[in-house]
């Protein structure tokens, strides 16, 4: 797994469907719910008529953390939920989870940075465990 600054990223040997299922399972294990799901492949086909490899964005929310963040800085709502993406790329199935510290750090709130740090650690664990699933 690597931290790109904006996302935690791992390339896995899992199939796309297995990676999506593993992400859902690990998000639930960390207390996240999936609020939204965007099938990028289907949308690009529908809107542009182009064919691209599978790409799914899961909008994940950790309710206690979202509540704390919104109480601290209401405009943080434009940065919610935390996205976790699964895509098929040349190098394999890639999992990316938003690194909330970078995004929320721009708002200049110490309380928000703490929430982002906690949520970021949980998302990092999700990516690490999904990556480890493929290795075992």
DSSP conformation letters of 1-18: -EE-SSEEEEEESS-HHH
| Neighbouring C-beta atoms of residue 55, cutoff 10 Å | 19
* Mean pLDDT of all residues in 99-107: 88
Helices (H) and strands (E) in the chain, counts: 5, 6
pLDDT in tens, 117-127: 999 999 999 99
Q: What is the pLDDT of residues 37-84, one digit of tens each?
A: 999 999 999 999 999 999 999 999 999 999 999 999 999 999 999 999
- Per-residue model confidence (pLDDT) at position 115: 95
Model pLDDT, residue 27: 98
Cα–Cα distances in angstroms (integers) from residue 45 to residues 36, 39, 86, in the given order: 19, 10, 17
E strand or H helix that includes residue 70: helix 63-72
pLDDT at 136 over 70: no
What average pLDDT score do residues 16-28 get? 98
Give yes or no for a contact between 107 and 69, defined as CB atoms under 8 angstroms apart: no
Please tell me the predicted confidence (pLDDT) of residue 47.
Answer: 98
What percent of the chain clears pLDDT 70, i.e. is strictly above it? 99
d(CA 96, CA 91): 14
Residue ranges of domains in the chain: 2-135
**CATH H superfamily, domain 2-135:** TT1751-like domain (3.30.310.70)
- Please tell me whether the peptide bond between 125 and the residue prior to it is cis, using omega within 30 degrees of 0: no
The whole-model pTM stands at 0.94
Helix (H, G, I), strand (E, B) or coil at 37: strand
């Amino acid at each position: 797994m690597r931290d790109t600054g904006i996302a935690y990223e791992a390339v896995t040997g899992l199939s796309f469907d297995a990676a999506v299922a593993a992400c859902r399972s690990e998000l639930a294990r960390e207390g996240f719910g999936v609020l939204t799901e965007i099938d990028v492949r289907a949308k690009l086909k529908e809107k542009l008529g182009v064919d691209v490899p599978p790409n799914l964005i899961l909008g994940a929310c950790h309710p206690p953390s979202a509540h704390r963040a919104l109480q601290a800085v209401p405009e943080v709502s434009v940065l919610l939920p935390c996205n976790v993406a699964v895509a098929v790329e040349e190098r394999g199935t890639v999992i990316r989870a938003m690194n909330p510290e970078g995004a929320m750090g721009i708002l200049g709130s110490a309380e928000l940075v703490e929430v982002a740090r906690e949520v970021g650690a949980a998302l990092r664990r999700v990516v690490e465990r999904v990556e480890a699933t493929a290795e075992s």
